[in-house]
Amino acid sequence: MLAAGFVADETIDGHWLSQLVDRYAASYDRDAMDWMQQGAFDRGSFASLLGVRWSSGASRVEVVCIGDTLLALLDGTDVRITAPYTDPAEFNARPRLLATQSGENEDLIQEGALALTTYDLADFDNPVLALMTDALGHWLLTFPERAPELLAIEHQDTFENFVEQERSASHMRRDDTTLVILD
């Protein structure tokens, strides 16, 4: 719902998020759940959101980064900008996540965390955006000089072998691992 909501709506703000929370709640019949399911539903679920929109042709991107997914903006193979984290130690803190319970989102809304950040790609000779989940983001911030290895991956099986090798070497956390490269 978050991803579809980001793609479908130009405005990302508290009203947008409130509508998504309401739609999420309406998609479940709480009364039909057993007591354990009701407890889990009442506690809520949490998610990160990393969204990218191209604007002004292909010269600018608008990005929203909430949670512990990572955007790396590279110039060729050189990591120039990362968001929302810039240091691997930041992955050790509890991430700020979007919640299915409206009250849990108030701080994010008040702090302007839903605001889009614009990056001008004209400042880069060869801009590449790499979007990744937390285990891989932590790895990249720990080993930024190894970014060319990520960019060289062209097939799913190569990616899976890379992840297993890095996990076996204790260089990467055992967690969900996703990578999207936009160039």
Whether 65 has a pLDDT exceeding 90, the answer reads yes
Share of the chain above pLDDT 70, in %: 99
Say which CATH class 2-182 falls into: alpha beta
Whether 88 has a pLDDT exceeding 90, the answer reads yes
Task: Give me the phi and psi of 161, to 5 degrees please.
Answer: -65, -40
How high does pLDDT run on average in the chain?
Answer: 94
What is 73-106 written as a DSSP string? EEETTEEEEEES-SSGGGGGSPP--EESSGGGGH
- Contact call for residues 91 and 48 (beta carbons, < 8 A): no
Domain boundaries, the chain: 2-182
Whether 56 has a pLDDT exceeding 90, the answer reads no
Share of the chain above pLDDT 90, in %: 89
Whether 140 has a pLDDT exceeding 70, the answer reads yes
